[in-house]
Structure 1
Amino acid sequence: MRYPQSIASIARLPHLRTSASQLIQRRLSTHAPPVDLHYDVIHPPDASKTDKPLVILHGLFGMRRNWQSLAKAFMRDLQRPVYTLDLRNHGTSPHVEPMTYDAMASDVLHFCEAHSLTDVSLLGHSMGGKVAMAVALSPQLPPQLLKHLVVADVAPARSDLSPEFRGYIDGMIKIEQSRVSTRKEAQDILTPYEKDPMTRAFLLTNLDSHSQPLKFQVPLKIIGPAIPEIGWFPYEPEGKHRWSGRTLFIKGSKSKYINKHNLPLAQSFFPNMSLETLDTGHWVHAEKPNEFRKLVVDFITEP
């Protein structure tokens, strides 16, 4: 397997706290056993909880509860069950290594099998979008399990995450080390690392409000070293992995996560894909929820 230049550069970035050899070894290691993901499900009265569900995967530092409002709207419009999952090391799901896309995809496949889901429509945003793509391309994907794939503002590319993600980890670690007791104190510490108040508020949803001093629900000691891994993708375009099912990519026009350089990559993995663009940044579902919902519903219900 070939590794891009970004892998070699990891050893020169001590703040990432993960050596190149550790990262390569993690990718070459055998698959860890899947974990049981925590979830919420809503479904129409008297409807099946297993047939044609929509399964939603959040992004980095997200959790299933971020999707509550949209999940209710999807259930109403689609008249199908809607599952929102907490991926490993997020929300209330287990804290466990490794935090790789292979492992996270294995968790989702295990979830679908354990809950006897069939004809699944799988929707993922950002990191969750990469997990969804890894599910679709996995050799372990059972035939006929996946019906639709919806990927929100991310491509199946291999690249370093932007530096602010490392800053988020550093700021969150500083909050815990400072043993603060109020969200206001946490906000003040995080502000130098992230100027946007909406992003700060999103990150601080991970605080456990019942702990004193305040601590984060997410395991920073696992997620921090995994930041380089989260920029990775486990499959190569020249390999044998393809998923020819119906696929929708939704891009934010002000976001660079899907661009002219990596769009051909997406098309090589998912030849039956279409692309829609909304006038948003990276948070396409939060900035334009109604427009985002309509794109997803129309795509899933299209004959």
Structure 2
Amino acid sequence: MSFTLFPSRMARWVIPNVRSFSTSRVLRSDLSFQVFGPEKEEASRSPIVFLHGLFGSKQNNRSISKALARDLKRQVFIVDLRNHGQSFHSKEHNYTVMAEDVVKFIQQQSLGKGAKAAMTVALDSPDLVSALVPVDNAPVNAALKSDFGKYVRGMQRIEAENVTKQSDADKILQEYEEKEFFFQQALPIRQFLLTNLVRSPEDQTMKFRVPLSVIGASINNMADFPYRDHGAAQYHGPTLFVRGTRSRYVSDETIPAIKNFFPNAEVADVEAGHWLISENPEAFRQVVVKFLKDAP
């Protein structure tokens, strides 16, 4: 769910300290989640909370979460952030409030000990996080590498035209692509966005389960990082920045900022683009398992 466009602008992990139970449910915070792996009493290490990217959902991370739960013998929680998946909708949408939602989730689940939502959690509440793995993202302000507003307008047009087939929605979205830059990436991007389509029970037309007006108005927030001053906050726990070798989101120029915010950070390269989890899941699994085997 990370690609050279927008999703991993929010994609990140929180590694909490303690566990919780193992059913799918919605909490009072309205963050929908599901958990994989052993029961609390059988888990050998602290659990993992896996956060998706922009326009993603917990469903995007099911396969890799099952693999990590198996390999690490830890519980893995996959969560829908606000305005995504089955979680609540809100007019306020930025990394600060999303981080607050995740902190509340961790506290409600008694997990103790999320790229930017999870990095914000780690910097805001370092005692809650025992290790951190941001996926192809850096703690810097950076413009989204596409005219994402065009995609939002295309999605709004899909709803306005009351389409009843996903194929018709795909045809509309094709008209909003940056073909010169995304020629090879266009199909997977459209497929990813269209996973948010659901059928309205009232008239059987296709609607998006995410609030397009809210997300569209928040696009600029998704390019920002809440912390500007490198000395304002630091997270000293073990941190692994996993970046795609063909992605431009975690360039060598961002390493000083990474080290300023996360002094104990390491960087691991995976042969892939921005969608590294889906493009090269085995290489991603290997670097994360190696890192987390030594983490608390």
TM-score range, shorter chain: 0.7 to 0.9
> What SS does the corresponding residue of 1:256 show, helix, strand or coil?
coil
For residue 238 of structure 1, report the CA deviation from its aligned partner: 3.2
Following superposition of structure 1 onto structure 2, how do residues 166-205 of structure 1 map, counting pairs within 5 Å?
Answer: 166-194=149-177, 196-205=186-195
Q: Structure 1 pair 50/182, CA: closer, same or farther in 2 (3 Å)?
A: farther
> What SS does the corresponding residue of 1:276 show, helix, strand or coil?
strand
Distance 1:261 1:106 in 2: 29
Report the equivalent of 2:53.
59
Find out whether 1:252 has 2:235 as its counterpart.
Answer: no
Quick check: 1:51–1:118 contact (8 Å CA) kept in 2? Answer: no
Q: Structure 1 pair 50/61, CA: closer, same or farther in 2 (3 Å)?
A: farther
For residue 142 of structure 1, report the CA deviation from its aligned partner: 6.1
> What SS does the corresponding residue of 2:84 show, helix, strand or coil?
coil
Identity %: 41
Find out whether 1:69 has 2:63 as its counterpart.
Answer: yes
Find out whether 1:136 has 2:122 as its counterpart.
Answer: yes
> What SS does the corresponding residue of 1:40 show, helix, strand or coil?
strand
What TM-score, normalized to structure 2?
0.83
**Paired residue for 1:81, among 53, 75, 92?**
75
Listed as ranges, the gaps of 5+ residues in structure 1 are: 1-33, 123-128
Quick check: 1:35–1:88 contact (8 Å CA) kept in 2? Answer: no
Following superposition of structure 1 onto structure 2, how do residues 23-34 of structure 1 map, counting pairs within 5 Å?
Answer: none
> What SS does the corresponding residue of 2:77 show, helix, strand or coil?
strand
Distance 1:237 1:104 in 2: 20
> What SS does the corresponding residue of 1:117 show, helix, strand or coil?
coil
**Paired residue for 1:98, among 92, 104, 117?**
92
For residue 236 of structure 1, report the CA deviation from its aligned partner: 1.8
Listed as ranges, the gaps of 5+ residues in structure 2 are: 1-27, 178-182
Quick check: 2:126–2:235 contact (8 Å CA) kept in 1? Answer: no
RMSD (Å) for aligned C-alpha atoms? 1.8
Report the equivalent of 1:230.
222
Quick check: 2:44–2:74 contact (8 Å CA) kept in 1? Answer: no
Distance 1:142 1:243 in 2: 6
> What SS does the corresponding residue of 1:98 show, helix, strand or coil?
coil
For residue 97 of structure 1, report the CA deviation from its aligned partner: 2.5
Report the equivalent of 1:20.
none
**Higher alpha-carbon deviation: 218-227 or 39-48:** 39-48
Count of residue pairs brought into register by the alignment: 259
Distance 1:278 1:257 in 2: 13
